[in-house]
Amino acid sequence: MVKVEVLRVFTDAEGRFGNPLGVVDGASVSDPGHRQRIAARLNYSETIFFDDLDRGELRIFTPTVEIPFAGHPTVDAAWIMSRELGRTAELLRTPGGDVPTRTEGDDVWVRGPLAATPPWWHERLSSADEVAALQGPLSPDQDATQLWAWQDEKAGVVRARVFADRYAVAEDEACGSASMRLAAALGRRLIIQHGNGSVVHARPGPPGTAEVGGRVVTDGLRSLDE
């Protein structure tokens, strides 16, 4: 029996919406193939395995592949560390590199290397309404794509959706790494109204990096028979 804590990352101010994520104690599942099977069964956009909570060492799996870094798993991991250790987490250690973390009010922030993020394609649409009305990507070739439009350009508010069949995720409710890349490309801080109602904050970091932040809530434990 494998215990999985389910959390939602990038909720709105009332704790609604957000991108679900599974968190597993890495000591209970050490084999990479076993981890991949668990991630596939859970079928969240990502599942993380903490190998050393005190040091912030973790691995990240989509339903089909391990990836070196992603936004919403690392925001979640920083939140988990702070809760479990009773102090603000300062650093995560991922295969994609060390990830500094901090909190700003109710939001947890991470700074990650853009070179380690998935290779998202961004395509701007004409209006936020057009983004909201999407039934899927514009073409089947858009299998790792963030479609976006300005909702309020002056205020830096974006409406966005992410479609990711490449990673066996039809639509990612709130994609941190794509939002990081968008903020870096636009060179400004963004508030991204993502998916059905999630809220992602993103901004450029030092060269080669970007930052992403948001709120996290827990939906409790579930068990998988193994």
Instruction: Write down the domain spans for the chain.
Output: 2-111+213-224, 121-212
Query: What per-residue confidence (pLDDT) applies to 89?
Result: 87
Query: What per-residue confidence (pLDDT) applies to 88?
Result: 85
Contact 190, 202 (CB under 8 A): yes
pLDDT digit string, tens, across residues 53-97: 999 999 999 999 999 999 999 999 999 999 999 988 899 999 999
- DSSP assignment of 20-81 equals EEEEEEGGG---HHHHHHHHHHH--S-EEEEEETTTTEEEEE-SS-EES--HHHHHHHHHHH
β pairing state of 157-164 and 145-152: antiparallel
Query: What per-residue confidence (pLDDT) applies to 87?
Result: 87
Query: What per-residue confidence (pLDDT) applies to 56?
Result: 96
Question: Do the domains 2-111+213-224 and 121-212 sit in the same CATH topology, yes or no?
Answer: yes
Query: What per-residue confidence (pLDDT) applies to 155?
Result: 98
Of the options 3.40.50.1820, 3.40.50.300, 3.10.310.10, 2.120.10.80, the CATH number for the domain spanning 121-212: 3.10.310.10
> Where in the sequence numbering do the catalytic residues fall?
46
pTM of the predicted model as reported, rounded to 2 decimal places: 0.96
Query: What per-residue confidence (pLDDT) applies to 225?
Result: 80
Of the options 3.10.310.10, 3.30.559.10, 3.40.50.300, 3.40.50.620, the CATH number for the domain spanning 2-111+213-224: 3.10.310.10
Instruction: Identify the segments of the chain with pLDDT beneath 50.
Output: none
Query: What per-residue confidence (pLDDT) applies to 224?
Result: 86
Query: What per-residue confidence (pLDDT) applies to 8?
Result: 98
β pairing state of 66-67 and 91-94: unpaired
Under DSSP, the state recorded for 18 is -
Q: State how far the Cα of 79 lies from the Cα of 76, in Å rounded to an integer.
A: 5
Query: What per-residue confidence (pLDDT) applies to 69?
Result: 97
Cα dihedral 13, 16, 21, 26, rounded to 10, equals 60
